[in-house]
């Protein structure tokens, strides 16, 4: 049973981050409460996006705000994305991989079609940071983290920090 009150920031290597998230069948009050909680987490941790698995929930939902403000935060349920435009490598971080930053190649534009909190299917096109956030958050729903997109050299550079995160996770869960 989904309990949004129990959701919290989830970091690598929590298994939920490596799984493909499940579709949301009905947009009900528990989903609306989950979305509100996810926006709170995104604002608290100063992100521009947050996906369900990052809140510990294996559901296909993400929130994003182009400027990291609550006013501009939006909720995307069961999203489909269509990246477009040229590929650009831009430095990215991830709230689930604190302390790791690396240039990730992504399309500069992206169209997202998703269900909103009223249950309506909407389409939105973005470019720049928001287009990148859509692609990054969609990756989370597929169980993919930025480290899974790293080049060999980026993997080597991040190895130590990844090991620290694994040790932190073990000490928290033991």
**Would you name the residues annotated as active-site residues?**
137
Total binding residues toward Zn ion, as defined by CB under 5 A: 1
Contact (Cβ atoms closer than 8 angstroms) between residue 53 and residue 17: yes
Q: Which is nearer to Zn ion, 30 or 168 (CB)?
A: 168
- Of 83-102, which residues contact Zn ion (CB under 5 A)? 94
Contact (Cβ atoms closer than 8 angstroms) between residue 132 and residue 83: no
- CB of 134: closest distance to Zn ion in angstroms? 12
- CB of 120: closest distance to Zn ion in angstroms? 26
Please report the DSSP string for 74-112 in residue order: EEEEEEEEEEEEEEEEEEE--TTSTT--EEEEEEEEEEE
Say whether residue 126 binds Zn ion (CB under 5 A).
no
Q: Which of 5, 153, 17 is nearest to 98 (CA)?
A: 17
- CB of 135: closest distance to Zn ion in angstroms? 11
In the chain, the N- to C-terminal Cα span, in Å, equals 24
Cα(90)–Cα(132) distance, rounded to whole angstroms?
9
Residues found in the chain: 174
Q: Which is nearer to Zn ion, 88 or 142 (CB)?
A: 142
Q: Which is nearer to Zn ion, 30 or 45 (CB)?
A: 45
Q: Which is nearer to Zn ion, 30 or 101 (CB)?
A: 101
Q: Give the Å distances, CA to CA, from 159 to 12, 147, 152.
A: 13, 10, 11
- CB of 47: closest distance to Zn ion in angstroms? 8
Summarize as ranges the residues that interact with Zn ion (CB under 5 A): 94
């Amino acid at each position: 049973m989904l309990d949004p009150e129990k959701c919290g920031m989830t970091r690598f290597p929590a298994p939920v981050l490596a799984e493909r998230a499940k579709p949301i069948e009905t947009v009900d009050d528990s989903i609306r409460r989950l979305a509100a909680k996810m926006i709170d987490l995104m604002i608290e941790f100063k992100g521009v996006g947050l996906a369900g698995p990052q809140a510990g929930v294996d559901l296909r939902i993400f929130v994003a705000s182009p400027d990291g403000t609550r006013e501009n935060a939006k909720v995307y349920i069961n999203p489909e994305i269509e990246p477009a435009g040229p590929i650009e490598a831009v430095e990215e971080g991830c709230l689930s991989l604190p302390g790791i930053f690396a240039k990730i190649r992504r399309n500069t534009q992206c169209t997202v079609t998703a269900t909103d909190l009223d249950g309506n299917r909407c389409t939105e096109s973005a470019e720049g940071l928001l287009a990148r956030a859509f692609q990054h958050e969609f990756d989370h729903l597929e169980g993919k983290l930025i480290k899974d997109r790293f080049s060999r050299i980026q993997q080597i550079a991040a190895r130590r920090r990844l090991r620290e995160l694994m040790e932190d996770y073990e000490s928290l869960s033991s």
